[in-house]
């Protein structure tokens, strides 16, 4: 009886649990994306002004930290990720 109830709960919430696990994995990945300590946010195009001001003031160490700052939207986080990748590639080509 108890085992059947547990199986029913697992099946019912499996999709929710999987989504939460995926979200945790994405957040952990963003924590490993470090931002340069001397990063000049004024040179990052497409970053909203509010986000730019908050990032300059707070100086987050990682993209994950940046995403938790009030006033930094998911779109701003995406802009940071694209900019970091472009910078990485340009340095690799030099």
Per the CB < 8 A criterion, the answer to whether 63 and 77 are in contact is yes
Which structural domain range is residue 86 located in? Answer: 2-93
Whether the pLDDT of residue 3 is over 90: the answer is no
- Residue 71 backbone dihedrals phi, psi, to 5 degrees: 100, -5
CATH number, domain of 19, equals 1.10.150.570
> What total of structural domains would you count in the chain?
1
Banded model confidence at residue 42, pLDDT cuts 50, 70, 90: very high
Query: For residues 58 and 87, which has the higher predicted lDDT (pLDDT)?
Result: 58
Name the pTM for this structure.
0.74
pLDDT digit string (tens) for 30-40?
Answer: 889 999 999 99
Q: How many residues does the chain have?
A: 94
pLDDT at 57: 97
Three-state DSSP class for 34? strand
Q: At a CB cut-off of 8 Å and minimum separation 6, what does 58 contact?
A: 65, 66, 69
Counting residues of the chain whose pLDDT is more than 70, the rounded percentage is: 99
pLDDT bracket for residue 17 (50, 70, 90): confident
């Amino acid at each position: 009886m108890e085992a059947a109830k547990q199986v029913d709960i697992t099946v019912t919430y499996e999709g929710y649990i999987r989504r939460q696990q995926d979200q945790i994995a994405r957040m952990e990945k963003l924590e490993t994306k470090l931002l340069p300590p001397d990063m000049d946010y004024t040179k990052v195009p497409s970053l909203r002004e509010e986000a730019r001001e908050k990032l300059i003031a707070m100086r987050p160490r990682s993209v994950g930290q940046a995403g938790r700052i009030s006033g930094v939207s998911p779109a701003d986080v995406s802009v940071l990720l694209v900019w970091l990748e472009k910078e990485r590639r340009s340095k690799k080509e030099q």
